[in-house]
Amino acid sequence: MYDGIPEALQENFGLYMAQKSPRKIKLLNNAPVQRLEMKWRTSNKNVDSGVFVMHHMETYMGYTLRNWDCKFAAEGIEQKRQLEKARKIYAAKIVYSEINILKDHMKTEIKFVNQN
Protein backbone atom coordinates (compact mmCIF):
# COMPACT_ATOMS: atom_id res chain seq x y z
CA MET A 1 0.00 0.00 0.00
CA TYR A 2 2.79 2.45 0.84
CA ASP A 3 5.15 1.18 -1.88
CA GLY A 4 8.50 1.98 -0.25
CA ILE A 5 7.50 5.32 1.26
CA PRO A 6 8.24 4.32 4.90
CA GLU A 7 11.67 3.06 3.85
CA ALA A 8 12.38 6.30 1.97
CA LEU A 9 11.32 8.30 5.03
CA GLN A 10 13.60 6.21 7.22
CA GLU A 11 16.51 6.70 4.82
CA ASN A 12 16.04 10.48 4.64
CA PHE A 13 15.58 10.77 8.38
CA GLY A 14 18.77 8.74 8.71
CA LEU A 15 20.66 11.22 6.54
CA TYR A 16 19.41 14.05 8.77
CA MET A 17 20.27 12.18 11.97
CA ALA A 18 23.74 11.34 10.65
CA GLN A 19 24.49 15.06 10.79
CA LYS A 20 22.88 15.60 14.19
CA SER A 21 23.81 12.45 16.10
CA PRO A 22 26.20 10.16 14.20
CA ARG A 23 26.44 7.71 17.13
CA LYS A 24 22.75 6.83 16.95
CA ILE A 25 22.52 6.41 13.19
CA LYS A 26 23.34 2.67 13.29
CA LEU A 27 20.37 2.08 15.59
CA LEU A 28 18.06 3.86 13.19
CA ASN A 29 19.41 2.18 10.08
CA ASN A 30 19.00 -1.25 11.67
CA ALA A 31 15.47 -0.61 12.96
CA PRO A 32 12.80 -2.48 11.04
CA VAL A 33 10.03 -0.45 9.43
CA GLN A 34 6.80 -1.39 11.14
CA ARG A 35 3.24 -0.29 10.35
CA LEU A 36 1.38 0.12 13.61
CA GLU A 37 -2.17 -1.10 14.11
CA MET A 38 -3.73 2.07 15.51
CA LYS A 39 -7.36 1.96 16.63
CA TRP A 40 -8.09 5.09 14.56
CA ARG A 41 -6.53 3.60 11.43
CA THR A 42 -8.57 4.04 8.24
CA SER A 43 -9.00 1.90 5.17
CA ASN A 44 -8.18 4.63 2.64
CA LYS A 45 -7.97 8.25 3.77
CA ASN A 46 -5.23 9.67 1.56
CA VAL A 47 -6.93 13.08 1.66
CA ASP A 48 -6.60 13.26 5.43
CA SER A 49 -3.05 11.91 5.77
CA GLY A 50 -1.67 15.40 6.42
CA VAL A 51 -4.32 16.02 9.08
CA PHE A 52 -3.39 12.75 10.78
CA VAL A 53 0.32 13.64 10.64
CA MET A 54 -0.19 17.10 12.14
CA HIS A 55 -2.45 15.73 14.86
CA HIS A 56 0.00 12.94 15.64
CA MET A 57 2.83 15.45 15.97
CA GLU A 58 0.73 17.35 18.50
CA THR A 59 -0.33 14.34 20.56
CA TYR A 60 2.57 11.87 20.42
CA MET A 61 4.89 12.27 23.40
CA GLY A 62 7.05 9.16 23.04
CA TYR A 63 4.60 6.72 24.58
CA THR A 64 4.05 3.17 23.42
CA LEU A 65 1.07 2.71 21.16
CA ARG A 66 -0.87 1.21 24.07
CA ASN A 67 -0.36 4.37 26.15
CA TRP A 68 -0.84 6.90 23.35
CA ASP A 69 -4.28 8.42 23.06
CA CYS A 70 -4.44 10.60 19.97
CA LYS A 71 -8.11 11.34 20.66
CA PHE A 72 -9.31 10.14 17.24
CA ALA A 73 -12.25 7.74 17.19
CA ALA A 74 -12.19 4.58 15.11
CA GLU A 75 -13.12 5.02 11.45
CA GLY A 76 -16.74 6.13 11.13
CA ILE A 77 -19.03 9.12 11.51
CA GLU A 78 -17.37 10.43 14.70
CA GLN A 79 -13.90 10.27 13.15
CA LYS A 80 -15.21 12.05 10.04
CA ARG A 81 -16.51 14.86 12.26
CA GLN A 82 -13.17 15.01 14.11
CA LEU A 83 -11.22 15.19 10.84
CA GLU A 84 -13.43 17.99 9.48
CA LYS A 85 -12.88 20.00 12.65
CA ALA A 86 -9.12 19.34 12.61
CA ARG A 87 -8.89 20.42 8.96
CA LYS A 88 -10.51 23.76 9.82
CA ILE A 89 -8.24 24.30 12.82
CA TYR A 90 -5.03 23.53 10.91
CA ALA A 91 -6.09 25.62 7.91
CA ALA A 92 -6.78 28.60 10.18
CA LYS A 93 -3.43 28.18 11.93
CA ILE A 94 -1.63 28.16 8.58
CA VAL A 95 -3.54 31.13 7.14
CA TYR A 96 -3.20 33.31 10.25
CA SER A 97 0.38 32.35 11.08
CA GLU A 98 2.72 35.30 11.61
CA ILE A 99 5.22 33.73 9.21
CA ASN A 100 2.68 33.44 6.39
CA ILE A 101 3.83 36.16 4.00
CA LEU A 102 0.49 35.93 2.14
CA LYS A 103 -1.62 36.22 5.30
CA ASP A 104 -3.17 39.62 4.48
CA HIS A 105 -3.99 38.57 0.91
CA MET A 106 -5.53 35.30 2.12
CA LYS A 107 -7.61 37.10 4.77
CA THR A 108 -8.97 39.39 2.03
CA GLU A 109 -9.79 36.38 -0.15
CA ILE A 110 -11.55 34.67 2.75
CA LYS A 111 -13.67 37.77 3.40
CA PHE A 112 -14.56 37.95 -0.31
CA VAL A 113 -15.60 34.29 -0.44
CA ASN A 114 -17.67 34.62 2.73
CA GLN A 115 -19.50 37.68 1.36
CA ASN A 116 -20.52 35.95 -1.88
Each residue's pLDDT tens digit in the chain (116 positions)? 667 888 888 889 889 888 888 888 888 888 888 877 888 888 876 788 889 989 999 998 888 888 888 899 999 999 999 999 999 999 999 999 999 999 999 888 888 777 86
| pLDDT attached to residue 1 | 61
User: Would you state the pLDDT for residue 79?
Assistant: 93
CA end-to-end span of the chain, whole Å?
41
Tell me which DSSP letter residue 47 carries. Answer: G
Q: What are the distances in angstroms from CA 72 to CA 2, 9, 54?
A: 22, 24, 13
> Quick check: 24 and 17 in contact, CB under 8 A?
yes
pLDDT at 31: 85
The answer to whether the CB of 72 falls within 8 A of the CB of 55 is: yes
Contact between 72 and 79 under an 8 Å Cβ cutoff? The reply is: yes
pLDDT at 39: 84
Burial track 29-60 (b if 16+ CB lie within 10 A, e otherwise): eeeeeeeeeeebebeeeeebeebbebbeeeee
DSSP letter for 74, please.
Answer: S
- What pLDDT sits at residue 28? 81
Q: Answer yes or no: are the C-beta atoms of 85 and 72 closer than 8 Å.
A: no
Asked whether the beta carbons of 38 and 65 are under 8 A apart, the reply is yes
Q: pTM here?
A: 0.67
Please list, in sequence order, all residues whose beta carbon lies within 8 angstroms of the beta carbon of residue 21, skipping any fewer than 6 positions away.
none
